[in-house]
Amino acid sequence: MRKKNLPDDFIKKCKSVTAKRPKTVIEHIIKHGHVTTEELKEKYGYNHPPRAARDVREQGIPLETFRVTGSDGRKIGAYRFGDPQKARFSRLQGRTAFSKEIKDELLKCKIVSVPSI
């Protein structure tokens, strides 16, 4: 989705992301319309570009994945913003961990088993 088609409030909320890796991806997409896995690896030094895209998705921002031809002629992944209506800015952002109390309760109920090391 091109920048001119994106609502101003969507762009404003995207720019409010402060975490470095997703912010880098978001800024590149806003400026250029999309970002490729090759650009993420070569330009920004991310050894696992899909992880950077996942970080953006974890912030509640929808991304579409599509294929483009890389500099070496192979097909590579690229990312652009998805439907702004599917953005989930109000939900908890990023990964969340269970508290120790919740883990202990789950283990008491034997709902979850912990692998022994």
Per the structure, the count of domains in the chain is 1
Q: Is the pTM of this model over 0.75?
A: no
pLDDT per residue of the chain (117 residues) written in tens, 0 to 9: 455 688 888 999 899 989 999 999 999 999 999 999 999 999 999 999 999 999 999 888 999 999 999 999 999 999 999 988 877 765 555 566 778 888 888 788 765 556 665
Q: What is the CATH number of the domain that holds 70?
A: 1.10.10.10
Domain-embedded: residue 12? yes
Spell out the SS3 assignment of the chain: CCHHHCCHHHHHHHHCCCCHHHHHHHHHHHHHCCEEHHHHHHCCCCCCHHHHHHHHHHCCCCEEEEEEECCCCCEEEEEEECCHHHCCCCCCCCCCCCCHHHHHHHHHHCCCCCCCC
Considering the domain boundaries, does residue 115 fall inside one? no
